[in-house]
Amino acid sequence: MLQNPAIPREAAPGFAVMAPGASGPASRHPGAPAQRSPETAAADESAAVSRFGPGSVWRLGGPQGGRALAPDPFLVAGIVNVTPDSFYDGGVHATCEAAVAHGLQLARDGADLVDVGGESTRPGSDPVPEAVELARVVPVVRELVRAVADPAFAVDPACAQGLFPPSSTRPLVSVDTTRAACAAACLEAGAAIVNDVSACSVDPGLVDVLVQYRPGYVLMHSQGTPKTMQAAPAYDDVVDEVLAFFERGLARLVAAGLPEEHVALDPGIGFGKLATHNLELLRGLPRFAALGRPIYLGLSNKSLFQGLFGLDVSARGPVTMTATALCGVRGAHVHRVHDVTAARQGLALARELFFHRACADGAGRGAP
């Protein structure tokens, strides 16, 4: 695992240490024995803080200046698809005006991030020409950055004052792209994050853009390309293989010059995985969180729910909300969703039920 050698893991950002004997979420687990040794109790409490405390700091650079995000314990990213063929809302926000209006509504609903994409990555999709992606995405990113910086912009008061307030009254904009040219243009336009489903494999020049601008970066696992990834995905142990992928990817990026604290990790639900693989990855979220980087998760309305429950896309909202809350408890920090309001409600409940003690002890904002 990569980390600054000068900072021991127990002192790393987002991983506060409980005092011996303190009570934490692990000690209230219904399956815990009535009597435990002090050593076992201390180990459980330390694990609980790592699992239930705030996420590690995610540093974001770019020409507009840098900042740091610390999931407390969650961040919500709203999805803006500027495409005619995305699986959930393809064509609905395909114009710049419609996409910007949708992105602003997601921001008012309490999105911490607004993620803009101009190329569908649904299974079986074909890539679009670079010029088309640039024409779709860059104007939307530029206008969203301008709009949320306007003094007239405001988050809905119900979000700003709730149990789980947004990380900022002015959300950040990210771009969902695999191309260096698109990433660079959007970073110049004010985007702060690059969300890349290819781990720099589609366009190796993207690494140079990341090193130059030092944005936040989402390193995602995928087996194959969107065109072929669902043909015959196979793993010996999907959790072990994705963990190894993250270790290699972090090492490669750090060696190239992008500090590890700029990277979030996405296991890539639905990207070259069968339903059984997706479920194993969701069960394995605590293992990914132990790498010390924010875990970014995109499972909103995905076909996993059709396979499990026979749900059409339009009927997957309630199970998406439930899964988002459950995965927050399991270790996911950043949740990429279509319905920001529903995600925030589910995560607010998870925060109160499972994170209240950690927050009250000073690891997060706390609740009255």
Sequence-distant (6+) residues with CB within 8 A of 108 are 154, 155, 156, 159
Tokens, residue 105: 């509504």
What CA dihedral angle connects 347, 152, 97 and 296, to 10 degrees?
-30
Tokens, residue 319: 């199970």
Tell me the C-alpha distance between 58 and 56, whole Å. 6
Tell me the C-alpha distance between 169 and 159, whole Å. 10
Tell me the C-alpha distance between 349 and 268, whole Å. 25
β 58-60/263-266 pair status:
unpaired
Kind and range of the H or E element at 69?
A: strand 67-69
Is there a contact between 56 and 12 (Cβ–Cβ < 8 Å)?
yes
The conformation of residue 367, written as its DSSP 8-state character, comes to: -
The sheet carrying 75-81 orders its strands as 263-266, 216-220, 193-196, 172-176, 113-117, 75-81, 334-337, 296-297
Q: Give the orientation angle of helix 238-256 with respect to helix 275-283, to 10 degrees.
A: 70
Query: Known catalytic residue: 273?
Result: no
Which is the catalytic residue, given 293, 316, 336, 351? 336
Which is the catalytic residue, given 59, 302, 316, 344? 302
The CB density around residue 158, as the number of other CB atoms within 10 Å, is: 11
Catalytic residue IDs: 302, 336
